Amino acid sequence: MESRVKFLGHSLHQMLIVFPLGLLTTSLLFDIGGALTKRSELYMVSFWMIAVGLIGGLLAAATGLIDWAAIPGGTRARVVGLTHAIANVAMLALFAISEWLRYNLPGHQPDVTAIVLSFIAVGVSLFAAWLGGELVDRLGVGIDTGANLNAPSSLSSRSATETTNPITERRA
């Protein structure tokens, strides 16, 4: 099932999830670094990583929702997609609460509750990421129809069902 929201021929959702996932996970590492070194600027970095990660997460969620809506009902992919979405919403909510608990003290050590919520959120994100992998790698969601090992470039006007011969075709 092909993605409904593409950029340069590829699923935009799969491109967008990288930034919030990386920012939100790394924010926890900065919290740990701040706790170990007592350097307040690391907590400030964590605060802003969460803020930007939440914005990116909302953008990724919007494109994921569009793709999920196109999955036929009554399929395993639809259920896995819904579970993936719920897990990601829970993860974003946990990070949002963690951010809210830090709001008045962005350059200071956050309350233990804020850090615990971030730990839980990272755990939830690992589960959600596994579900995303299940959707793409196992169920073929977001994959071009006819994708194959010799498909032409997504920037060409040719269908993925066409094949190219890498030995005889000139490289661009």
**Mean per-residue pLDDT, 17-26:** 95
Q: Do 153 and 69 sit in the same domain of this protein?
A: no
More confident of the two residues 25 and 5: 25
Give the chain's domain count: 2
Domain range for 83 is 6-138
Q: Which region holds residue 171: left if phi is over 0, alpha if psi is between -120 and 50, else beta?
A: beta
**Mean per-residue pLDDT, 21-28:** 96
- Let me know if residue 158 belongs to a domain: yes
Residues 6+ apart with CB under 8 A from 55: 20
Tell me the one-letter amino acid at 94. L
pLDDT at position 131, please?
Answer: 95
Helix (H, G, I), strand (E, B) or coil at 60: helix
pLDDT at position 169, please?
Answer: 61
Q: Do 49 and 69 sit in the same domain of this protein?
A: yes
**Mean per-residue pLDDT, 114-130:** 96
- The 8-class DSSP code of residue 135 comes to I
**Mean per-residue pLDDT, 12-28:** 93
Cβ(88)–Cβ(125) below 8 Å: yes
Distance CA 158, CA 9 (A): 11
- Let me know if residue 123 belongs to a domain: yes
Distance CA 60, CA 20 (A): 8
Helix (H, G, I), strand (E, B) or coil at 71: coil
**Mean per-residue pLDDT, 101-130:** 91
pLDDT digits (tens, 9 = 90+) for 41-100: 999 999 999 999 999 999 999 999 998 999 999 999 999 999 999 999 999 999 999 999
First to last CA, the chain: 28
Q: Do 151 and 134 sit in the same domain of this protein?
A: no
- Let me know if residue 40 belongs to a domain: yes
pLDDT at position 170, please?
Answer: 58
Q: What angle do CA 58, 109, 46 make, to 5 degrees?
A: 30
- Tokens of residue 25, six digits: 């996970």
**Mean per-residue pLDDT, 141-148:** 79
**Mean per-residue pLDDT, 95-116:** 89
Q: Do 91 and 161 sit in the same domain of this protein?
A: no
Distance CA 32, CA 26 (A): 10
